[in-house]
Structure 1
Amino acid sequence: MSDHSKKLGVVALVAMVISSSIGSGIFGISSDMAGSASPGAAIIAWLIVGLGVLMLCLSLTNLIAKRPELSGVFSYAEAGFGPFGGFISGWGYWLSAWLGNVAFATMMMSAVGYFIPVFSGGQNLLSIIVASIILWFMCFLVNKGIESAAVINIIVTVCKIVPLLIFTIIAIISFKADIFTANFWGTLSGNFEVKSVFSQIQNSMMVLMWVFVGIEGAAMMADRAETKAVAAKSTVLGLIGLLIIYILISLLPYGLMDRQTIVQFGQPSMGYILKELVGPWGAAMINIGLIISIFGCWLSWTMLPAETTLLMAKQNLLPKKFGEVNCANSPTFSLVFMTILTQLFVFTLLFTEKAYNFAYSLCTAAIFVTWIMVTMYQVKFSYQRHENVQLLIGVLGCIFFAWAIYASGLEYFLLCFTVYILGMYFYAKARKENGCERVFSKKDLIVAGLIILGAIFSIYLLVTGQIAM
């Protein structure tokens, strides 16, 4: 078999984009969106987010094609802004991955709670105990060298797509235009009001960005594509496919019942909406599919942060300990270290009113660091090469993600900095291990100082109750 025949084509890559991006978020997006925006505001928000994420995808495909020697999404930050820049990007990517598992834990227990009421809500003590057992079981599996086999991916993908397809068909059949347009703009006057609509768009930003966590992984498969052009085309087509799925799933419920009713549903809200339409079997199907889907995603997202710290250790951004592997070629220290931190955050779910929302807000805020640094390097790289179109893509991407960080809640972004303080200790240790006389440059010290100040301020906001948990 020739090497060319082993390469991935458009269909395979588009499927990979969709599969890698769809997680638990879409199953709860109905109530999350209804609580933030009216139908009209939601449509505009999707258009803005779609264009912003497109800039990220185009930046990644451009950089992959022109800097194929770089490995890992954080390597672009290192190439553009030095070792400390690479650390900041990689640590954010790592942080986002395992914080996503905290959101998975809550959603899985909520889904189990549909069948076993004692787990209802997914954040009582019993739910935390069971989620913790699953968490350490995942660590054990990955440490033994268990990788995401093709059969697991197939099962997980089917469990994601089939319930979504059934929900969409039933929702389209049951859709009522008069309900959808009853309060289209969500304003007191019933008309389009810039201030009110923009506020709704801003409030929904974290919800929308959460479902795109993982989109960067698709562009990273470009080296396995038939050509770089195929990879770029597939990424854009995959993004369009995701937008169609997300927009349908999030907007159709507005035409089924009023916003207040949707908001009051528990998680996963898709299951409760389907229960209202077709009866208990609909909710059961959604919850079973979600449980299996999360199990597969959880396994993958346990491997991802461990692999990220492994790569960072190889590039001397973390101590050598993070790069040590066992006989199964798994980074045991990285896995256990990450699992302990995840466990600590899982325990905090006992004290939060909306645990799932809090967890995915932190996960999304963390990945913003990596995403915006990709677009920043796109700007620098394109400016140096005098590529005006690519420069414009990078600039638009930077503007969008800077606004997204603000709109999604700057407080969550700053709260992630608390874990960066721990990371900077490891970064400094790694630099000394590799004989660097000067750990931080003057610019690095300024950035490090801002991170510490941001972390202190976020703790103040948390203690004073200004960060919603």
Structure 2
Amino acid sequence: MQESQQKKGIGLTALVAMVVTSSIGAGVFALTSDLAIAASPGPVLLAWVIVGFGILMLSLSLNNLILKRPDLEGIFAYAEEGFGQYAGFISGWGYWLSAWLGNVAFATVLMSTLGYFMPVFKTGQNVPSIIGASVISWGLTYVVNRGVESAAFVNAIITICKLIPLFTFIVVAIILFKANLFTAAFWNNVSGNFNGGVGIGEQIKNCMMVMMWVFVGIEGAAMMSSRAENKKDAGRATIIGLMCLLLIYVLASVLPYGYMSRSDLANINQPAMVYIFRDMVGAWGGAFISVGLIISIIGSWLSWTMLPAETMLLMTKRHLLPPIFGRENKFKAPTFALVITAVLIQLFLFTLLFTGKAYNFAYSLCTAAIVICYIFVAAYQIKYAWQHRAEKGSNVQLFYGIFAFAFQCAGIYMAGLQYLLLCFIAYIPGIFFFAKARTDNGAAHWLSKGEWLVTCFIVLGAVLSIVLLATGKISV
């Protein structure tokens, strides 16, 4: 029995499903309205080219590192290998933060979508919504606690179910597409509330945050590579998953510009796809997309219940966190990490009663936190390619890393520096756990001089964010 358990692993199909499901959550269903507020169809298409290229460079970098360094497990391991233990902790802790903050965003949209059928949930930010989201959160924690590989199989089934409504929407949108409406204001902002003088560059910039959010999760297969049947499958799954995502996102977000005017799309209720499809085919369409959205969010939530716990487990194995965070049950699931993450999600859910735009706030924090991890991946890709520049293809790999690094650094700015500062607050307790893990493993000092310098920078950023919150410069 023990031998069969060792052979059991996650296959290519399940890994592709994890990439797609981890990324396709709530964002794609709200994408059209968010982008219509930001830009006309021309700048939106240019923004997709830029973001698609940047994410492709990141995916190719991940693929290369998975193939060349199969001994490294977890996205944070590249930061540690390239730049030391403390860099590994910063990357891993940021990834963990991003993963469970994404679940808070899912909770908000899920409950507001259920409000389409049951008005008691309203906008997803009331007491019944918090109770419902809490039940789902702990239920998914229980499922993952029964075995990660089994949860991955369930995730593959959910992926198939969630894609059916999306493909249906895209097919109907193609049939009803009006080219003259699509090209009527292809480059320019509409008048009135959208300030017709805003240039193409500014419109593209306004799209970036929304687009980067919907690609969060592209590294899902890389994070689970240690549980894959074949580690090469993790790299393949990342590239295949990205191609699928780009096709779905571009079609789902751009085609509606050929069905409704931009001003109508910008002012439609959220989740936008629900109401667009209802307008296209009648009342049943809203219910159909709503069901698809509910399945989609639950699938993403399941993926993002696995990933933060897996991150803590791998960080513990590399002595970046104390051993208790990696304690596993008989199903090889990291129970303590699952429970502590679920508790933090629960605490954050209570803040939905006091947060103005909970979904936007949660996904902005999530994106800001994960971009830190992506920057380290790109930086290590550059370092690895440079160290092996005598090898065939190293110049191409260096190109991938440089462009991925530049894109993600720009992403920090696009995501909003205020959200990065808020993430620094959550780093402070993590630094304590990192220091404890280091001393538990026999180190003479908690942190080196250079690490203390970085810690001071993080603490100053955290203090600044608290001051900005207190003075109203940052609003939640």
TM-score, normalising length: structure 2:
0.90
CA distance in structure 2 between the partners assigned to 1:194 and 1:400 by the alignment: 27
**Matching residue within 90, 93, 100 for 2:92:** 90
Residue number in structure 2 paired with 1:204: 207
Over residues 119-143 of structure 1, what are the superposed CA-to-partner deviations in whole Å (9 max), with x where a residue is unaligned?
Answer: 1211122212221222223233333
Could you tell me which residue of structure 2 aligns to residue 329 of structure 1? 332
Of 45, 48, 64, the match for 2:47:
45
Match of 2:103 in 1: 101
Shift of 1:384: 1.6
Q: 2: CA distance between counterparts of 1:150 and 1:96? A: 20
Secondary structure at the counterpart of residue 115 of structure 1: coil
Output the amino acid matched with 1:123: Q
Deviations 1:432-468 (A, max 9, x none): 1111112212221221111111222222233333334
| Count of aligned positions | 462
Mapping 1:187-198, distance limit 5 Å: 187=189, 196-198=199-201
Q: 1:262 to 1:467 in 2, by over 3 A?
A: farther
Q: Aligned pair in 2 of structure 1 residues 317, 346: CA closer, same or farther (>3 Å)?
A: same
For the residue of structure 1 that corresponds to 2:199, the secondary structure is helix
Q: Mark the runs of 5 or more structure 2 residues left unpaired by the alignment.
A: 1-8
- Over the aligned positions, Cα root-mean-square deviation in angstroms equals 2.7
Equivalent position to 2:399, from 385, 392, 411? 392
Whether the 8 Å contact between 1:61 and 1:232 is mirrored in structure 2 is yes
Match of 1:460 in 2: 467
Unmatched tracts of structure 1, length 5 or more: 1-5
Q: Give the distance between the partners of 2:330 and 2:231, measured in 1 at CA.
A: 36
Separation (CA, whole Å) in 1 of partners of 2:330 and 2:16: 35
The 1:394–1:145 alpha-carbon spacing in structure 2 relative to 1, beyond 3 Å, is closer
Distance 2:152 2:314 in 1: 24
Contact 2:424-2:461 at 8 Å conserved across structures: yes
Per-residue deviation at 1:90? 0.6
Q: Which amino acid aligns with 1:266?
A: N
- Is the aligned partner of 1:352 residue 2:359? no
- Label 1:141 to 1:14 Cα distance change in 2 as closer, same or farther (>3 A): closer
Letter in 1 for 2:110: M
The 8 Å contact of residues 36 and 262 in structure 2, kept in 1 or not, is answered as yes
Distance in 2 of aligned mates of 1:99 and 1:422: 16
5 Å-filtered alignment, 1:60-459, equals: 60-145=62-147, 148-149=150-151, 152-187=154-189, 196-219=199-222, 228=232, 235-386=238-389, 387-459=394-466
Query: What code does the residue aligned with 2:324 have?
Result: K
Q: For the residues of structure 1 that align with 2:74 and 2:230, how far apart are their CA atoms?
A: 20
Quick one: distance in 2 between partners of 1:388 and 1:82? 25
CA contact under 8 A between 2:155 and 2:303: conserved in structure 1? no
CA distance 1:201–1:239, shift in 2 (3 Å)? same
Q: 1:25 to 1:280 in 2, by over 3 A?
A: same
The change in CA–CA distance for 1:435 and 1:65 in structure 2 (over 3 A counts) is same
State the 1:301 CA deviation.
Answer: 1.4
Normalization by structure 1: what TM-score? Answer: 0.91
Displacement after TM superposition at 1:195 (Å): 6.6
Change (3 A) 1:300 1:221: closer
Cα offset, 1:181, TM superposition = 2.2
Secondary structure in 2 matching 1:114: coil
Segment drifting more, 328-337 vs 70-79:
328-337
